[in-house]
């Protein structure tokens, strides 16, 4: 199963699907999961200072026995300490002399005042070769304009949250990135299935999947690919990892199928429903409130003295 590379605006190539070790895994060991991802064919590994998974990614790379140039490694600056310190720590934890892509993780954490200076420091990493490509994450158009005031290098990548339900609101930044040849990466693209099941996009995804003898998950990733966007995904299960990579063998979505998913996504996700725990909590609170109300009524109407101590 071979996923094609995409060419960045700096000339380097990046695999079009990445195995992410994001917030879901923060504080947990992901060595085994990353090893499995490498074994099934992932070569693009995504981590970040914030995730606290850089050491695990580095360990999995070393224990794979594969050469460094077999991997494309992304990590991110998440703030809290000067970027020079964070980057040095990231390289040490990964056990690498360079990363393939270094991103500003979130402009809202860094702040508009510091963004230009942070970007200038990323440019220095780019020039000295410790970060072959540099980019951003979670950037809107206004954040690009902030760093463009000082930038000598255009970001190569913008990694964003993208799925059919937020596609319309993401269009301005997608169009801006296309204009400047900035490759977009998408994380949490499976939200319509994992977080918002039963919504309008279920039907067009199911139809596209049935046509290809595929799964709705694969159809959703085909939608991401149809938008020219790189996939960042994760799983702890080997079969799911294989399912993700297998989309490289599937027929791309037609323009009509993409349009149907877009149209359904524009209707928005289904109304949130209470989880089982929330329902139980809600029921418990109602029961307590009912008991308190009964006691108050008893005290009011029957003036039962022993209830006054409650």
Provide the pLDDT confidence category of residue 184 given band limits of 50, 70 and 90.
very high
Instruction: Give the predicted TM-score (pTM) of the model.
Output: 0.86
For residue 236, count other CB atoms closer than 10 A to its CB: 14
Looking at the predicted structure, is the pLDDT value of residue 287 above 70? no
The average pLDDT across 165-194 equals 98
Looking at the predicted structure, is the pLDDT value of residue 283 above 50? no
Q: What confidence tens digit (pLDDT) does each residue in 116-126 have?
A: 999 999 999 99
Displacement of CA 249 from its chain's centroid (Å): 23
Looking at the predicted structure, is the pLDDT value of residue 72 above 80? yes
| Model pLDDT, residue 95 | 98
Looking at the predicted structure, is the pLDDT value of residue 6 above 90? yes
Structure token digits, residue 195: 């977080």
Looking at the predicted structure, is the pLDDT value of residue 294 above 80? no
Rounded distance, CA 216 to CA 206, Å?
A: 6
| Model pLDDT, residue 223 | 98
Looking at the predicted structure, is the pLDDT value of residue 296 above 70? no
Give, as one character, the DSSP assignment of residue 133. Answer: E
- Give catalytic residues, as residue numbers: 51, 105
Q: Provide long-range contacts, Cβ within 8 A and 24+ apart, for 33-39.
A: 33/234, 33/235, 33/236, 34/60, 34/61, 35/60, 35/63, 35/64, 36/238, 36/241, 37/241, 38/64, 38/66, 39/238
| Model pLDDT, residue 303 | 53
Taking alpha carbons only, the member of 110, 101, 10, 97 closest to residue 47 is 101
Looking at the predicted structure, is the pLDDT value of residue 284 above 50? no
Rounded distance, CA 253 to CA 71, Å?
A: 29
Looking at the predicted structure, is the pLDDT value of residue 280 above 70? no
Neighbouring C-alpha atoms within 13 Å toward the C-beta of 89: 16
Mean of all residue pLDDT scores within the chain: 90
Q: What confidence tens digit (pLDDT) does each residue in 208-265 have?
A: 999 999 999 999 999 999 999 999 999 999 999 999 999 999 999 999 999 999 999 9
Least confident stretch, 20-34, 85-99, 270-284? 270-284
Structural contact between residues 52 and 25, judged by C-beta atoms closer than 8 angstroms: no
| Model pLDDT, residue 22 | 87
Kind and range of the H or E element at 185? strand 183-187
Looking at the predicted structure, is the pLDDT value of residue 304 above 50? no
Looking at the predicted structure, is the pLDDT value of residue 100 above 70? yes
What percent of the chain shows pLDDT beyond 90? 83
Provide the pLDDT confidence category of residue 299 given band limits of 50, 70 and 90.
low
Structural contact between residues 49 and 90, judged by C-beta atoms closer than 8 angstroms: yes
Taking alpha carbons only, the member of 217, 223, 208, 205 closest to residue 241 is 217
Q: What confidence tens digit (pLDDT) does each residue in 22-57 have?
A: 878 777 899 999 999 999 999 999 999 999 999 999
């Amino acid at each position: 199963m071979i996923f094609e590379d995409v060419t960045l605006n700096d000339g380097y190539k990046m695999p079009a699907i990445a195995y992410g070790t994001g917030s879901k895994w923060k504080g947990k060991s992901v060595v085994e999961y990353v090893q499995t991802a490498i074994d099934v064919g992932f070569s693009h590994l995504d981590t970040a200072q914030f995730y606290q998974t850089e050491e695990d990614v580095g360990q999995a790379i070393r224990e794979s026995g594969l050469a460094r140039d077999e991997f494309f490694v992304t990590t991110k600056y998440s703030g809290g300490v000067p970027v020079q310190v964070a980057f040095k720590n990231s390289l040490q934890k990964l056990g690498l002399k360079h990363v393939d892509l270094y991103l500003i993780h979130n402009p809202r954490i860094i702040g508009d005042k510091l963004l230009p200076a942070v970007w200038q420091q990323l440019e220095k990493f780019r020039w000295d070769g410790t970060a072959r490509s540099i980019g951003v994450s979670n950037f809107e158009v206004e954040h690009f304009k902030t760093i463009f005031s000082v930038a000598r290098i255009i970001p190569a990548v913008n990694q964003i949250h993208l799925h059919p339900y937020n596609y319309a609101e993401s269009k301005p930044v997608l169009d801006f990135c296309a204009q400047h040849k900035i490759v977009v990466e998408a994380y949490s693209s499976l939200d319509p299935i994992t977080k918002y099941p039963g919504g309008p996009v279920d039907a067009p995804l199911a139809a596209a999947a049935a046509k290809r003898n595929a799964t709705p998950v694969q159809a959703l990733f085909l939608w991401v690919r149809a938008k020219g966007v790189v996939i960042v995904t994760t799983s702890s299960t080997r079969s799911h990892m294989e399912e993700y990579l297998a989309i490289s063998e599937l027929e791309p979505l037609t323009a009509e199928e993409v349009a149907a998913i877009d149209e359904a996504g524009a209707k928005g996700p289904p109304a949130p429903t209470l989880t089982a725990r929330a329902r139980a909590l809600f029921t418990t609170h109602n029961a307590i409130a009912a008991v308190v109300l009964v006691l108050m009524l008893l005290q009011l109407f029957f003036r039962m003295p022993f209830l006054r101590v409650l």
